[in-house]
């Protein structure tokens, strides 16, 4: 049997630990800051994506090299020759883990429930905005129908008189939706 390329294993281990560190840094940024800077979030998210992409590309490349006789990773069954010391045991769990850590899963569930609550607030804001838009559209249509906009108007040199009562009525209609 061919000897296993330890450089490939170390490379995978390094890529996995970098991905985990990126995820932890992202989680720390979100947890410690009330409203983190958008560029900081985007940079950390891009960092996570790049680590995952590099790991994926490495694993995909090893799968496409199945016909390569030097690729022993796909055929290898790896086990330690000596018992793993307890101080290094966590590394094995990281490499073999298929389910998210419980604290990460809890944070994810909390985030999802928070988003659902915020979604209700967003819906009410959207409805209020739609009502204001409808009132503004009705007001615009009313003003549009009130005047002949295609006719040419002779302007006098005097300053135009503004009807303050009509202006306050229209402003009240815009804010409340009730025409007085």
- pLDDT above 80: residue 17: yes
CA distance 48 to 26: 8
Structure tokens at 136: 């503004």
Task: Specify the higher pLDDT residue, 103 or 177.
Answer: 103
pTM assigned to the model: 0.38
Q: The tokens 């073999």 sit on which residue?
A: 96
Banded pLDDT at 2 (limits 50, 70, 90): very low
Provide the 10 A C-beta neighbour count for residue 22. Answer: 19
Asked if 64 and 76 count as a contact pair (C-beta separation under 8 A), the reply is no
DSSP code for 81: S
Which strand (E) or helix (H) includes residue 11?
helix 6-32
Taking only Cα atoms into account, the Rg of the chain, rounded to an integer number of angstroms, comes to 32
The pLDDT tens digits for 109-165 are 888 887 776 677 778 888 999 999 999 999 888 888 887 777 766 666 666 666 778
């Amino acid at each position: 049997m061919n000897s296993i390329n330890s450089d490939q294993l170390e490379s995978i281990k390094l890529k996995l630990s970098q991905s985990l560190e990126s995820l932890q840094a992202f989680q720390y940024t979100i947890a410690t800051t009330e409203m983190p800077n958008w560029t900081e979030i985007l940079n950390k998210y891009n960092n996570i994506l790049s680590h995952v992409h590099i790991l994926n590309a490495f694993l995909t490349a090893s799968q496409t090299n199945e016909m390569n006789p030097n690729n022993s990773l796909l055929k290898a069954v790896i086990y330690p020759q000596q018992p793993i010391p307890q101080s290094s045991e966590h590394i094995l769990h990281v490499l073999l883990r298929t389910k998210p850590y419980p604290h990460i899963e809890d944070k994810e569930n909390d985030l999802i429930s928070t988003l659902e609550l915020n979604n209700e607030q967003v819906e009410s804001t959207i409805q209020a905005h739609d009502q204001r838009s409808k009132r503004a559209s009705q007001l615009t249509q009313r003003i549009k129908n009130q005047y002949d906009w295609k006719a040419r108007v002779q302007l006098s040199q005097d300053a135009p008189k503004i009807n303050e009562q009509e202006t306050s009525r229209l402003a009240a209609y815009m804010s409340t939706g009730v025409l007085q």
